[in-house]
Chain A
Amino acid sequence: MRHAYRFGAYVVVAVLASAGVSGAAPQGAAPKTLAGGGAATVGCGALGSATVSYLTTNGSVTQVSMTGLPAGCNGAVVGLTLVNAVGASLGSGGPVVVSGGAATVRPLTANPAPASVTNVQLVAIGP
């Protein structure tokens, strides 16, 4: 996911530089055609309908499994963040590929106690 973000940032930087919109002096490039590739971004399905379950070890969450993911999300990569009541991250994991409507995320960046986790934020990219 972090890599995906970086990729997006690199695209932005490259485009700004080539278009000269960053305030730099024109580099003498001849105008060219822009072909917009902006396909509408629609979700792969209702991730909110997924069932989230834990594997705990010694009182801490060490693995998170998701089942009941929409069929349209098969082949997507999914990541998650465990958050507390004020939305602060307590640990995250992924990306992993969704297969058969399920995905299992392990390891996590941190292993919180289940009682401290209020919500699980899911992000799927693709398929």
Chain B
Amino acid sequence: MRRLAMIVPTIAVVAVLTTTAGAATIVLVAKQLTTATDSAPVFVPLTLSTANNRGPAGRADRTDTTTVTFSEQVNQSTLCSGWSNASNTQTLNTVTLMLNDNAGASGNDTLTVGAVPATCGSGFHFGTIDTGSNAYVTGGVVSFTNSTITLAQTANSTTLVLTFGTPSAARGIVAAGTAAIYTPDPAIHDIANHAVGTNQAATTTTVQW
């Protein structure tokens, strides 16, 4: 980048020298050169991973998990209005997780958080995971009742674990897909009030659960 910044001024100097020397006709075509320095994102989702704890790989089953980590301590009330930063751990039971058939912009199935206990008031501000395949569920939404969400924080990180409960219908078995991508709910902020913005995290695996 710094090298690029040298191009235009260098060409300008050459033009003057050449004029003095009376050299051959030269046509210099200039392009606009624009530079800027932007602040880097501070609060981002760092990792997204899934684990298969039951049933075949590639199928979402009860006790299978989805884990997201963030780069900072989350302001917990931006996830669940009833949570307080006074505690470094939280647990929500009787959550409904949903696998939504072909609901992603890419046509892939998505994972979202549905009904949650009343302690979260207007809901749980998780966001959406594009699962990387359209075959985890077919024919509509599969709801996983009695799912759980846990939170654990350290001084500079936050981990959310979503554990599937009881599925409402059969699920597919995915043999090949693409990486899953987590898009956080933009309401999520860290304790320094940095918004998570449009930052995303992807799995290293292409088949989940």
List A residues at the B interface (Cβ < 8 Å).
1-2, 4-5, 8, 11-12, 15-16, 18-21, 29, 31-48, 50-59, 62, 65, 67, 73, 76, 79-82, 92, 114-115, 117-127
Contact = CB atoms under 8 A, between A and B. Distances in A.
Nearest to B19: A34
Nearest to B27: A37
A52 B15 CA distance: 37
A109 B19 CA distance: 41
Contact of A123 (B11, B35, B69): B35
A29 B38 contact: no
B197 A4 contact: no
B201 to A, nearest CB: 5
Contact of B23 (A12, A32, A121): A32
A29 B41 CA distance: 57
A21 to B, nearest CB: 5
Interface residues of B, number: 54
B23 A4 contact: no
Given A32-B24, A114-B71, A55 B46 contact: no
Contact of A48 (B21, B37, B40, B203): B37
Contacts of A62: 202
Contacts of A40: 30
A38 B12 contact: yes
B42 to A, nearest CB: 8
Nearest to B23: A19
19 contacts: A4-B4, A4-B7, A5-B6, A18-B26, A20-B21, A34-B15, A35-B27, A48-B36, A53-B41, A56-B44, A58-B47, A80-B1, A81-B1, A114-B40, A114-B71, A119-B38, A121-B36, A124-B33, A125-B31
B154 interface: no
Contacts of B40: 52, 82, 114, 117-120
Contacts of B31: 41, 125-126
Contacts of A120: 37-40
Given A58-B204, A92-B1, A47 B35 contact: yes
Given A55-B202, A127-B32, A19 B18 contact: yes
Contacts of B27: 35, 37
Contacts of A59: 46-47, 69
**What are the 9 tightest A-B residue pairs by CB atom distance, in nearest-first order?**
A47-B36, A43-B34, A31-B22, A8-B7, A37-B28, A19-B23, A48-B36, A117-B40, A19-B21
A123 B199 contact: no
Contacts of B47: 56-59
Contacts of A8: 6-7, 10-11
Contact of A55 (B34, B35, B181): B181
